[in-house]
Amino acid sequence: MSKRVKFSVFGGVILVLVAVGALTAMKRRDKAVDVRIEQVQARDLVASVTASGQVRPQTKVDLSSDISGKIVKLSVKEGQMVTKGQFLLQIDAQQAEANVQRMQAVVASSRAQMAQTSANLSQAQKSLDRTSAIKKTNPQLISDEQMEQLRTTVDVNKAMYESARHSVDQSSASLRDAQSALGKTSIYAPMSGRVTRLVVENGETAIQGTMNKDAATLLTIADMSVLETKVKVDETDVARIALGDSAVIQIDAFPDTTFVGRVTKISNSAVKSATASSSSDQAVDYEVTIQLVNTPAETRPDFSATAKIITDSRKRALSIPIIALTVRENEALTKGDTSVGLGKARPKKEVGKKDVEGVFVVGKDNKVTFRPVKVGIA
């Protein structure tokens, strides 16, 4: 539902205003109605948009595990302050340690195989070199078939050596993966802040974060030094708001204190309710982010807050009280009394288009007339 902003309006000259009760008095002249009269006067005017939301830290991290396993040690509590690099929890590392040991053995075996093929290659090369030297001095002693066989033996040993070398590279990479998985069994704080949410206990099973983000979240760390509130503003009001606009925020947890803030972000896409229908008349809201200043240390995430965003203001502007503003139908302006103070009557072709906002004024002849006005700060 639209949160319509009510504004006071300028007066052109000093007029005597009659409250909305005067309209009833004109329609029912047989019964007197008490009205309040007030002069146009200078006031400080403020236009604002009011919206509600929740307090959130500007920076937070949801921690999850990269591996699945049982939590065997939990070293933090909810609400505790932590520093970057601090140990948080330990996941059972027995399987990860076994994988590391197995891959270390595979690497050792691969290296031994590579050493053996290297020795075989060296021996085959020496035999080929020695036989080649003999053939040069005594060609009749060594046949061409013998030379071809020795060359083939060298080529085979070269291929076996290359295969063994690639096996070492592959097993070494697998070892690094196993060591990385082992390192992930210990979880440390990625940033300094407060543990604002702890959803696991000692003995529970952590699941891999890529499977289900919400279910995999172990805890949340937030930097509570910079807080903001995200409020939902109706589409009819969001155009009035600009980056840098100041705001006054009321947090429900601190009813006797108001806080100041500034608009830092206005979303470009609408935030639709999950229960909203697809009809064209559904409410459309936009998220506006307001950064808070000097909030108490006791402030917690998700505190409910109401923000009054200041969109415009005027000092000592001629204005009337909002209670003097009323609405009259166009049809009424084209029938009977077409004298509407200093304003002009609506032409008949506009009858029924929409209601007209205005005030009742008392002229010099003490005649009460309706004067259309433009609502807003000029």
The pLDDT tens digits of the residues spanning 141-151 come to: 888 899 999 99
| Mean of per-residue pLDDT scores for the chain | 82
16 has pLDDT over 70: no
CB 289 within 8 A of CB 228: yes
Q: Supply the pLDDT for residue 14.
A: 33
State the pLDDT at residue 191. Answer: 96
pLDDT band at 330 (very low <50, low <70, confident <90, very high): low
| pLDDT for res 32 | 53
Domain ranges of the chain: 1-40+320-378, 61-89+189-222, 95-183
**Residue 343 — very low, low, confident or very high, per pLDDT cuts 50/70/90?**
very low
Q: Name the nearest CA neighbour of 309 among 51, 58, 53.
A: 51
What CATH number should be reported for the domain whose range is 61-89+189-222?
A: 2.40.50.100
Q: Using alpha carbons only, what angle is made at residue 68 by residues 62 and 73, rounded to the nearest 5 degrees?
A: 75
Residue 88 · residue 76 · CB < 8 Å: yes
- 333 against 372, higher pLDDT: 372
Tens digits of residue pLDDT in 108-156 = 999 999 999 999 999 999 999 999 998 898 888 888 899 999 999 999 9
The amino acid at 341: G
Answer whether 261's CB lies under 8 Å from 246's CB.
Answer: yes
Nearest-angstrom CA–CA distance, 226 and 294: 9
What is the model's pLDDT at position 93? 95
Q: Are 174 and 103 in contact (CB under 8 A)?
A: yes
Task: Indicate the pairing of strand 186-188 with strand 285-292.
Answer: unpaired
pLDDT band for 85, please (50, 70, 90 cuts): very high
At CB < 8 A and 24+ separation, what contacts does 106-115 make?
106/171, 106/174, 106/175, 107/168, 107/171, 107/172, 107/175, 109/171, 110/164, 110/167, 110/168, 110/170, 110/171, 110/172, 111/168, 113/164, 113/167, 114/161, 114/164, 114/165, 114/167, 114/168
Mean pLDDT of 340-368: 64
Percent of the chain with pLDDT over 90: 56
d(CA 66, CA 59) in angstroms, rounded, equals: 22
205-224 pLDDT per residue, tens: 998 876 667 778 999 999 99
In whole angstroms, give the CA distance from residue 177 to residue 165: 19
Asked if residue 336 has pLDDT above 60, the reply is no
How much is the pTM?
0.65
Query: Residue 287: pLDDT band by 50, 70, 90 thresholds?
Result: very high
Is residue 22 pLDDT above 50, yes or no?
A: no
Q: Are 284 and 238 in contact (CB under 8 A)?
A: no
The arithmetic mean of pLDDT across residues 25-35, rounded, is 54
pLDDT of residue 3: 40
What average pLDDT does range 310-324 have in this prediction? 82
- Residues forming beta bridges with residue 61, ordered by sequence position: 221
- Label the pairing between strands 217-234 and 193-198: antiparallel
Give yes or no for residue 19 having a pLDDT over 70: no
Q: Residue 265 belongs to what H/E stretch?
A: strand 258-271
